[in-house]
Amino acid sequence: MKKSLFLTFVAVLFFSIMGSAHSGVLKNPHLKCISVGHKLTIGPTFGLDTSRDAKDVFGETNIAYGNYWWLDVKSVATVEADFQVYQVVKDSTLKDLFGGPDSERLSCTNEQMLEFCRKHREWLAKEGSGNIFLVREIGTEPVVVAIGQFPSRLEGDRYDLSNNHILHARHKHRIIVPEQ
């Protein structure tokens, strides 16, 4: 009995220090999880909210700024979800961050992105750094939505995964994805 209790204690201690195989943290050398120990949950979404309608998130400026066709994309309904926030720690392209077989698991819906911005705004990087979501809707290719936070508003833009722009680590961009 004592040996079993001791082994359980050692296993719990080991996995709390090292993380388990299912610790929920991405294994990507370009990223560092900065939300470990924080529960960043959004409630269920119903697929009705679009970015164009989300004036509480983007205000009027972003909507009037240009041709944001992606703002009108409606989402599918989703269940409650936990999210994680990562910081770019190594110069990267979008493919370095989102390419590969895990891209499906790293994506969220447009409405989940909006809900995260509403509920967890304090986790968004400030002016000069981007907040990056991989957004995928039914029947569409995934797109990267980068949101900048300014003193009075958020502004967003979309990029294809094939964009070869380098995200420099010195800017401390944040990558926001559903918990793994």
Per DSSP, the residues of 1-24 read -HHHHHHHHHHHHHHHHH--TT-S
Phi-psi region of 103 (alpha: psi -120 to 50; beta: other; left: phi over 0): alpha
pLDDT of 92: 95
Question: Residue 30: pLDDT above 70?
Answer: yes
Least confident of 36-40, 54-58, 65-69: 65-69
Helix (H, G, I), strand (E, B) or coil at 133: strand
The per-residue pLDDT for range 68-94, each reduced to its tens digit, is 545 566 778 999 999 999 999 999 999
- The pLDDT score that the predictor gives to residue 10 is 36
pLDDT, averaged across the chain: 78
Q: What angle do CA 133, 89, 172 make, to 5 degrees?
A: 60
Which of 46-55, 71-80, 165-174 tops mean pLDDT?
165-174
Q: 160: helix, coil or strand? A: strand
